[in-house]
Amino acid sequence: MAAGSKPGRARASVRRSHDPRTLRTRAAIVSAAQELARERAGEPEGEITVADLAARAAISRNSFYTHFSGIADVAAHLLTERSAALAATLADGPPGRAVLARAAVPLLEHIAAHRVLYAALDREGAGAMERITAIYREHLRRIAARRPGLPAGLDLDFVAAYGVGGFLGALGAWLRGDLVCTPAEFAEQVLTQLPPWLLEPPPARVRRDAWSDGVSEPGN
């Protein structure tokens, strides 16, 4: 459904709402999605449907669609939240490869444990992946811009597009089973691809919340 459509505008409004009932319903949907993903992790053709999710969250299908456009939309929302938590972890700790690995592995372990849910991104999530790509690009662009060793003349938009495209492409292959490795091995492979200048610390004057300034999940 297009972002400018009536349902899309309604969901965008719901995303911005701070009404306790709205927040509880969204939290119940996301929690139910994670529960179902864990329960079906061992099923060869495991899949979560909107009907499954609505039943587990004790809401109607209409209520579900007030909040999310589909299962891939739920997965994108959850991945965005977990990525923001990763950003906060990185901002709290000292920079460097080891800290990046320790922060990235829990996110990848979460994705692996909920593979059935995140597989929807590859199966039906073109619009959701566009949102995730845009958010990740902006995150990476901000990180790169603060690195003191940034090579002269390097285009930050190119850095962000290239880096995020490679990461999400590998993530999709991992979710499909085309790449077989543990979360720790996946993180190590990703870190090995990063240029040394990107692993350098940002200047001390950068505020802790600089990552998230102006970066938020767009409505759909």
Tens of pLDDT along 177-220? 899 999 999 999 998 988 888 876 666 554 444 444 445 454 45
Domain 71-210: assigned CATH number: 1.10.357
Distance CA 163, CA 26 (A): 31
Q: What pLDDT, in 10s, does the model give residues 131-169?
A: 899 988 988 888 888 777 889 999 999 999 999 999 999
pTM for the model stands at: 0.79
DSSP of 126-180, one letter per residue? HHHHHHHHHHHHHHHHHHHHT-TTPPTT--HHHHHHHHHHHHHHHHHHHHHTSS-
Residue 46, pLDDT score: 79
Average pLDDT over residues 81-105: 72
Greatest C-alpha distance within the chain = 55
Q: Tokens 């940034």, residue?
A: 150
Helices (H), the chain: 6-16, 20-39, 50-57, 61-67, 71-92, 97-113, 115-124, 126-145, 156-176, 183-193
DSSP secondary structure code for residue 93 in this structure: S
- Closest to 81 measured CA to CA, from 148, 29, 36: 29
Q: What is the pLDDT of residue 90?
A: 59
Q: What is the mean pLDDT of the chain?
A: 83
pLDDT (0 to 100) of residue 212: 47
Q: Where are the domains of the chain?
A: 6-67, 71-210
Residue 142's pLDDT is: 82
